[in-house]
Amino acid sequence: MLVKWIRCTVVDRRGFERGQRKWAGLLGEPGFRGQGGGWSRGRQDVAHIFAFWESRAFYDSFMARSHDRLASAQSGTFKDAQVRLFDYRFDVKTGFEPRFTDADLLRVALCRVHEERAEHFVLMQEKVWNPAMAGSPGMVRGLFGEAPGCEYLVLSMWRSAAEHGKYRTERVERLALRAQTEADVAALTGDVVDMEPSWTV
């Protein structure tokens, strides 16, 4: 499965939201699995969208055929679009599927990892971080993805901000020590996203 992450700064909120609803046209596309997103909690004008495709071939075919027609509805409503593609590696918790209806909050983390530490980083994700997240009340599902250049995506869906907040304060520092995260990670960026149900396809 291919995961596409789009982050952009919105300059016309109403126009952007109107255009976002037009992406419902993705539903007939071969290989399309689902799309959802929302607004950054930290920066009001930043939107995040996550799209899921069966494979790179289906995605490339869509980009060549229908993408521009669907995207034209949002033309001029945003700037600074950053698009990243990741190959799905494994679930955080079990049975990941690109459904958004039961989550209020998304947490996205992008980790750039030292090349010689990549294997250790992936192992720690499986052995330390995943069980901790999976065992947290309110964590619905998540995935771990990989992109060339030792970049990794950790995406987790949560039932509420309060439940995600509990996990953060109780666990993160202790887990980071156990997983030797500091030694593995060259750069870490991320965001917390309030889901916008009308954007879900």
The structural domains of the chain, with segments of one domain joined by +, span 2-199
CATH number of 2-199: 3.30.70.100
Q: Which two tokens stand for residue 11?
A: 């300059």
Q: Which two tokens stand for residue 99?
A: 């459904």
Work out the end-to-end distance of the chain between its first and last CA atoms, rounded to an integer number of angstroms: 17
Q: Write down the pTM of the prediction.
A: 0.95
Place of tokens 């499965």: 1
> In this predicted model, what pLDDT tens digit does every residue of 101-140 receive, in sequence order?
999 999 999 999 999 999 999 999 999 999 999 899 899 9
User: Is residue 98 very low, low, confident or very high in pLDDT (cuts 50, 70, 90)?
Assistant: very high
Report which DSSP code applies to 116: G
CA angle, residues 147, 17, 105, in degrees to nearest 5: 55
Contact 39, 192 (CB under 8 A): no
CA–CA separation, 165 vs 156, rounded Å? Answer: 13
